[in-house]
Amino acid sequence: MTFHILVSDPLSEEGIAPLKQEKNMVIDVNTSLSHEKLLEMIGNYDALLVRSQTKVTKDIIERAKHLKVIGRAGVGVDNIDLDAATEHGVIVVNAPDGNTNSAAEHTMAMLMSLARKIPQAYHSLNQHEWNRKAYVGVEVKGKTLGIVGLGRIGAEVAYRAKGQRLNVIAYDPYLTEEKAEKMGIQYGTFEEVIQQADFITVHTPLLPATKHIINKDAFDQMKPGVRIINCARGGIIDEDALYEAILEKKVAGAALDVFEEEPLQNYQLVNLPEVVATPHLGASTIEAQENVAIDVSHDVIQILNEGVAKNPVNLPSLPADVMKRIEPYFNLSEKLGTFSAHLAQEAVEEVSIYYSGDLADLDVTPLTRNTVKGILKRYLGEHVNDVNAPYFADKKGITINEQKTTSTKGFTNLLTVEVGTQSGTSKVAGTLLNGLGTRIVKVDAYSVDVIPTGHLLLIRHTDQPGAIGRVGSLLAQFDVNIATMQVGRSDVGGDAIMMLTVDRQIDNNILDELKAVSDIHQVKTIDL
């Protein structure tokens, strides 16, 4: 069978060479198509390769009657309508690994430029000045590099930093002491990393949990004279707080490749003489541009010839009869995954998903993927989806188990998620109640009846008279309204839990007050 492939954005010859080597593939390169012309032509093609120039909109996908795959030569897929692609059974693939080396090298280049004041010295020399004393730098040998986020790029930075004889301490939700030891680096909490480091580089996705994670409070904990690097995402660092910390001499300098607003509009921060800045060049190398195109070309070949992909970012359409039976459980499975991620005290190492009742007779693989997505989204953000969740789990070293049983424990169907960490396991179970919707019915050993939505508050405490009243009174002091409350206990006077639904997010200062209440052992906020 012959496949026709359209390349509508500029890609290197090396990038599309794998496609041209396939005898059953005809490649058309046309990088000057208008939207109307693409609409007219797309019906002739089995695959479409783009970068960021072509907007693959719903109307294009609807017109693409033969399209099987869209390949994005890069990481982001903002220019592709993923929902429309999924609806029409079109697989979308990207290249998440192609720019890893480029981004890691740029981070090290920024670190060295910051340490030795290279851009500032060059600018001075360009002004015909010879001022050696003004640009005395620092050596990196023997200094401590703190890495916040140890994914693909963070790990590559750690490897290179060791070559520069830096001491490396890192924090990542999935990093364990054993993994750190194997890498030859030091494991630390977020606080330990920012407190001990001479240089701090961030390599996390931008999530609600990581937005402004480097803020005024963080700067206050750092060593005087610390240096900050951000080649990951704008918004991880509070730029106003960084500006003030530099003015106050708390921070000796910063190297920034990304910003909260791009293209940059406010140059106040980068105009400081202590700041080194580049316009989002982390992936801007010839090799990175080639690598992402090569990676996505190989994926397109795999999909067209074998129907499998390494880096899919959406879920292919399911058989209608299967989808009809399992679709009601999609919301529940993701909610249970997110809930279980909050229960875990440490990095998740193993996930076991148990299907009971009628679910045991079905192909529940999509539900398993959806559950894993719910777990990983808390740490990796919205780019985790049903299809790529197992890929990211594998990259994180997380074992996924799927088990089925006919035992329902009193429910028509029961879905149970158990997460394992180094210190133990935690478990949450849920079901669909006829006419009432999704419910969480068990948390660890405690029976509850909780709707998995909104702002939840999980409190572990000792079963003593007045405990519930003290919690209610304290929340009332902070004008927090309780919508629902569930209590479960092991035995009278023993361990117990409260599950509260509240009308707004709980601030850290309220959490601290709750943790100080007598007989309360643990307080967790869970937003579903």
pLDDT digits (tens, 9 = 90+) for 96-141: 888 899 999 999 999 999 999 999 999 999 999 999 999 999 999 9
The residues annotated as belonging to the active site are 233, 262, 280
* CA dist., res. 3 & res. 425, Å (int): 49
Supply the pLDDT for residue 89. 80
HEC profile for 373-420? HHHHHHHHCCCCCCCCHHHHHHHCCCEEEEEEECCCCCCCEEEEEEEE
Supply the pLDDT for residue 326. 86
| Average pLDDT score over the chain | 91
Q: In a 3-state reduction of DSSP, which class is residue 140?
A: coil
Of 298-302, 314-318, 398-402, 423-427, which gets the smallest average pLDDT?
314-318
pLDDT digits (tens, 9 = 90+) for 362-383: 888 889 989 999 999 888 887 6
* Percentage with pLDDT > 70 across the chain: 98
pLDDT digits (tens, 9 = 90+) for 189-223: 999 999 999 999 999 988 888 999 999 999 999 99
Pairing, β 186-187 against β 167-171: parallel
* CA dist., res. 206 & res. 58, Å (int): 27
Is the pLDDT at 245 greater than 70? The verdict is yes
Total residues belonging to the chain: 528
74 pLDDT band (50/70/90 cuts)?
A: confident
Mean pLDDT of 13-21: 94
Supply the pLDDT for residue 161. 98
* Percentage with pLDDT > 90 across the chain: 68
pLDDT digits (tens, 9 = 90+) for 467-492: 889 999 999 999 999 999 988 887 78
Supply the pLDDT for residue 174. 87
List, in order of start, the domains of the chain with CATH numbers. 3-96+287-306 (3.40.50.720), 100-277 (3.40.50.720), 318-425 (3.30.1330.90), 454-528 (3.30.70.260)
Which pair of tokens denotes residue 303?
């999909």
Phi, psi at 38, each rounded to 5°? -65, -40
Overall pTM surpassing 0.85 (yes/no): no
- C-alpha distances (whole Å) from 364 to each of 60, 98, 386, 501 are 32, 32, 12, 30
Cβ distance 316 to 89 under 8 Å?
yes
* CA dist., res. 457 & res. 477, Å (int): 16
Which pair of tokens denotes residue 412?
């028509």
318 pLDDT band (50/70/90 cuts)?
A: low
* CA dist., res. 487 & res. 478, Å (int): 22
Among 440, 423, 238, which Cα is nearest to 331's? 440
84 pLDDT band (50/70/90 cuts)?
A: confident
Long-range contacts of 304-310 (CB under 8 A, 24+ apart): 304/3, 304/25, 304/46, 304/47, 304/68, 304/69, 305/22, 305/24, 309/69, 309/91, 309/93, 310/93, 310/391
Among 232, 254, 258, which Cα is nearest to 241's? 254
Is the pLDDT at 224 greater than 60? The verdict is yes
pLDDT digits (tens, 9 = 90+) for 285-313: 999 989 999 999 999 999 999 877 788 88
Is the four-CA dihedral 293, 298, 299, 301 of positive or negative sign?
positive
- CA trace torsion 375, 379, 382, 386 (10° rounding): -30
Is the pLDDT at 76 greater than 80? The verdict is no
Which pair of tokens denotes residue 218?
């963080």
